[in-house]
Structure 1
Amino acid sequence: MASTRFGRRFVSALVIPVVGALALASCSGGSDASKGTDSPKGYVEATSGEVNLYTWSDYYPADLIKKFKTDTGITLNVDYYDSNENLEAKLRASNGAGYDVVVPTDYMVKILADSNLLLPFDAKSLPNGVNIKDSFFDVYFDQGRKYTIPYLYGTNSIMYDSAVITEKIDSWADYFNPPASAGKVGIQNDQVEAVNAALRATGAQPCTKDGAQLQAAQDLLKSFKSRVSTINSDGILERLATGEEKMAMIYSGAAYRAALERPSLKYVYPKEGVNLWQDNFAIPVGAKNVDQAKTFLNWMLKPENMAVAVNFQGYASGVKGTDELMKPELASSPAIVIPPGYDLAKPVPPCDNEATANYSKIFETFKG
């Protein structure tokens, strides 16, 4: 999930525990079928037209846009958002129209599917659906992959410049009570990530409805506001890499890329735990170019294509063959490889309506 969101020997250290944690917790239209290829599964491979992708900022490589056109003859248009909530609002306002492919995070997949805003298509109906890792089919948010295919996954935590901040930073409590050397601190424009982090810092768990715990999180965010430089999910990588910000909330892939430019940047695995997220490709129910959208999803399930996104974004994928194609420097990055023995990176299922309403009030009060 992610705005700027393992080599084989790291598979046992990261991929297997991550996958287990994630697991626990045919309509068509707008295609030129006469120019497509009908497969035994009823999949129609489009060879012309366009597909409109709505995704996170800085979250799809330009090289793949060009390659998709070359390989398929289909034009890929890309538009951007900076939070799952903005994606949800856009789809609700349009009854699922306007885009052909979207990239919701795990919990948002369930919300959108339960609201009948996603088109059911069954990932197994795609010829390359066999490339989805077995453990990525039985995920809590889309059992059997009836609405989505996996894109990338990672964690969301804290990064700071150790050349400037010499104090020990190892918790969300440290983030919300930063040392003076940190200056102004960046936080994402994401109510789920921000409120969950504040709840963790005050000793509570995500989705709590306990009034005292919610008040403590709100009070913490209120006191933190004077230390905030930006409430923005865009440009975090650049602000840290250039030194504009010395500490910020950031996704692991962006953290990896920032550290390539400024090696003194350190990614933190907080003692209170972190969110383990998974982003996915889905087709909105109002999509006009459905065959083109399915062709795009099927194309992205080729490991050589998904690996371009893996290496550019700095995340792992649920597609077979991508781990082996990962850059060595990515496979050894502390931002990507969860430390041995750290078992606090876990997915956070969506809160119910009451808890979500509480999150919205807390976050809007913080932003206001």
Structure 2
Amino acid sequence: MMRTSKRLASACLLTAASLALTACGGGVSDAPSTAAAPAASVSSSAPAFTPATSGEMTLYTWSDYFPESLAKKFTADTGIKLTVDYYDSNETLEAKLRASNGAGYDVVVPSDYMVQTLVAANLLKEVDAASLPNGKNIEASFLDPYFDPGRKYSVPYLYGTTGYMYDTAKTSKELTSWADYFNAPAELGKVGTMSDQTEVVGAALRAVGGVTCSTDAAQLQAAQDLLKKFKSKVSTINSDGVMDRMVSGEESIAMMWNGASMRARAKKPSLKYVYPKEGMALWQDNFTVPAGAKNVPQALTFLNWMMDPVNSAAAANFQRYGSGISGVNDLLDADMKSAPEIVIPDGYTGAKPVEPCTNEQLTNYTQIWESFKG
């Protein structure tokens, strides 16, 4: 997954001299941002932590979302063989874990709302992240997110926004909204979109003046009608490979995450990331241990290792996303401090966390999504 940070008006300030890649009020959590949180006491239901020095484990994560160099470093540092498998959406991950009762993988990387969903389904183990040796490095503003208060089940990985990108060399029109995305200028050709019902249906609801997790019949119908019309304009429904397609010119407009967009612009400067005026998703991805994991000591060793700021920064610099680990900001590459994909424009307050939908609301999403894909 080519999934960087947010800055919400005056709440977070990011300048060339100071890179504030932490959650602020209205962001991932409402807790004030400080350097780090004190370690919490160990939960009796969490597995005891004994660092592993051998064995193996499997990481199941978004495509293109964990640097190969970091995987090799983990093995060199710990003696644990790491195998990495990939998926393209939270829903794919959920389906896989439900089908196997949480078995098959040792660490998985769900986004915010999906952590909550998997916990409710008893598909994740308690890990008590703050009680691990490097748990002290979790920034206070990331310690009590709405989806996992106290970090009982998850460790923060990376976070960012979902907008879209287009090639300014192909059109003279300035695109500023989701409405522009779903009704893109003909000269941009076919449109790329994600294989992600939460992102796509959510964007369609925003474009028609609705809200995410809506149960309003008129809003839902308008979003479905928009997507039905949009289908003929779609090039791909695929979250994988979008950066390569945009850089090669195979697509000139596509829904994208901001980190992938920064990486794409580095290769093709005419590409521009859009902050839609109707708003956009602010997401956070997390490391978790499935209920059926077989290599728990190795998994906990991995979680603890990834809370070392040096290792977390390596991932953030490669993926171009923010981290919730204290000390990472000082280790980020200089070009992230002024990148338009990273520095949210002054006055833009549309980046909001993805709220969890109820089963009824998810059923509406699924019906709209299946109609669109079919």
**What TM-score does the superposition give when structure 2 sets the normalisation length?**
0.91
Q: Which amino acid counterpart does residue 4 of structure 1 have in structure 2?
A: M
Which amino acid letter does the alignment assign opposite residue 142 of structure 1?
D
**Contact residue 195 and residue 217 of structure 1 kept, 8 A:** yes
Given the alignment, which residue of 315, 330, 339 partners 2:336? Answer: 330
* 1:1-368 map, 5 Å: 3-5=1-3, 9=15, 15-16=21-22, 18=24, 20-24=26-30, 26-28=45-47, 42-368=48-374
Whether the 8 Å contact between 1:8 and 1:323 is mirrored in structure 2 is no
**Aligned-pair CA distance for 1:9:** 3.3
Paired amino acid for 1:263: P
- Superposition deviation, residue 12 in structure 1: 7.2
SS of residue paired to 1:223: helix
| Deviation sequence 1:142-191 (CA, Å, 0-9, x none) | 00100001000000001000011221100000000111111000000000
Q: Counterpart of 1:4 in 2: which secondary structure? A: coil
Q: Distance in 2 between matches of 1:48 and 1:127?
A: 19
Query: Matches of 1:11 and 1:341 in 2, distance apart?
Result: 20
Residues 170 and 364 from structure 1, CA distance in 2 versus in 1: closer, same or farther, beyond 3 angstroms? same
* Kept after mapping to 2: 8 A contact 1:101/1:293: yes
For residues 46 and 164 of structure 2, the distance between their equivalents in structure 1, rounded to whole angstroms, comes to 42
Is contact 2:160–2:283 with CA below 8 Å preserved after alignment?
A: yes
Q: Is the 8 A contact 2:130 2:138 kept in 1?
A: no
Kindly state the Cα deviation for residue 18 of structure 1 after the two structures are TM-superposed.
4.6
**Counterparts of 2:222 and 2:18, CA distance in 1:** 38
Matched position secondary structure for 1:23: coil
Conservation of the 8 A alpha-carbon contact between 2:163 and 2:274 = yes
5+ residue gaps in structure 2?
Answer: 6-12, 32-44
**What CA RMSD, in Å, does the superposition of the two structures yield over aligned residues?**
1.7
Contact 1:110-1:142 within 8 A present in 2 as well: yes
**Greater helix content:** 1
Count, aligned residues: 353
Instruction: Tell whether the 8 Å contact from 1:107 to 1:141 is kept in structure 2 after alignment.
Output: yes
User: Within 2, Cα distance between the matches of 1:13 and 1:267?
Assistant: 20
Label 1:158 to 1:355 Cα distance change in 2 as closer, same or farther (>3 A).
Answer: same
State the one-letter code of the partner of 1:184: K
Secondary structure at the counterpart of residue 199 of structure 1: helix
Q: Give the counterpart letter for 1:257 in structure 2.
A: R
What SS is found at the alignment partner of 1:336?
coil
Q: Decide whether the 8 Å contact of 1:14 with 1:338 is kept in 2.
A: no
Report the 3-state secondary structure (helix = DSSP H, G, I; strand = E; otherwise coil) of the residue aligned with 2:116.
helix
CA distance in 2, matches of 1:310, 1:19: 22
SS at structure 1 position matched to 2:273: strand
Offset of residue 21 of structure 1: 1.4
CA distance in 2 between counterparts of 1:71 and 1:212 reads 55
Q: Give percent identity, aligned residues only.
A: 60
- Equivalent-residue separation in structure 2 for 1:51 and 1:339 (angstroms): 41
Mapped partners of 2:117, 2:104: distance in 1: 19
Structure 1 residue 92: Cα displacement: 0.3
Q: Any conservation in 1 of the 2:264–2:271 contact (CA below 8 Å)? A: yes
Q: Is the 8 A contact 2:246 2:253 kept in 1?
A: yes
Uncovered stretches (5+) of structure 1, i.e. residues with no partner: 29-41
* Structure 1 residues 53 and 13: CA distance shift in structure 2, 3 A: closer
**Structure 1 counterpart of 2:191, which letter?**
V
- 8 Å Cα contact 2:62-2:86 kept in structure 1: yes
User: 1:186-219 deviations in whole A, cap 9, x for unaligned?
Assistant: 0000000000000000000000101111000000
Secondary structure in 1 matching 2:284? strand
Letter matched to residue 139 of structure 1:
P
Secondary structure of the residue aligned to 1:22 is: coil
Give SS of 1:364's match: helix
Q: Look up the match of 1:36.
A: none
Distance in 2 (alpha carbons) for counterparts of 1:331 and 1:111: 34
Taking structure 1 as reference, are residues 246 and 355 closer, same or farther at Cα in structure 2, changes over 3 Å only?
same
